[in-house]
Amino acid sequence: TYVIAQPCVDVKDRACVDECPVDCIYEGARTLYIHPEECVDCGACEPVCPTEAIFYEDDLPEEWSDYFRANVDFFAGLGSPGGAQRAGVQDFDDPMIAALPPQNQ
C-alpha cells in the first residue's frame, strides 16, 4: 500500500484524491489516509502531492515509519465504507496525529 505521512497534516491539499482510481484516500480531521486494503498500488497519487507526503510503504522515511500504522489504524472503526467520496470527512484522526502541534505555520 501507499501511505500518507506527516507533510499532509494541516495541509490537506487533496490533489491526490482526484488521481486515485479506486477512491481509497479518506479524509480525517487534520490529514488524509490511504485505505491499506483498498489501495491497488497504482502510484498515481504520489507525484501530485505538493508537500511530498505520499510514499510507497517500503520507501517511508524512518522518521515517519509510524504513519504506516496510523494509515491502518484509522480504518479500525470504519472498515471499508465503500469509497472515500461516500464516506465523507471524518471528525477524528489517529491519536498520534491528533496530538501533533499545529503544522501549518
Which residues contribute to the site for ligand F3S (CB under 6 A)?
Answer: 2, 4, 8, 11-16, 19-20, 22, 24-25, 32, 34, 39-45, 49, 51, 53-54
* Exposed / middle / buried, residue 97 (Cβ in 10 Å: 0-12, 13-18, 19+): buried
What's the min distance (Å) between Cβ of 29 and ligand F3S?
Answer: 13
Give the nearer residue to ligand F3S in terms of CB position, either 20 or 60.
20
For 87, the 3-state DSSP assignment is helix
Q: Cell 471528525 maps to which residue?
A: 91
User: What amino acid occupies position 71?
Assistant: N
What's the min distance (Å) between Cβ of 52 and ligand F3S?
Answer: 8
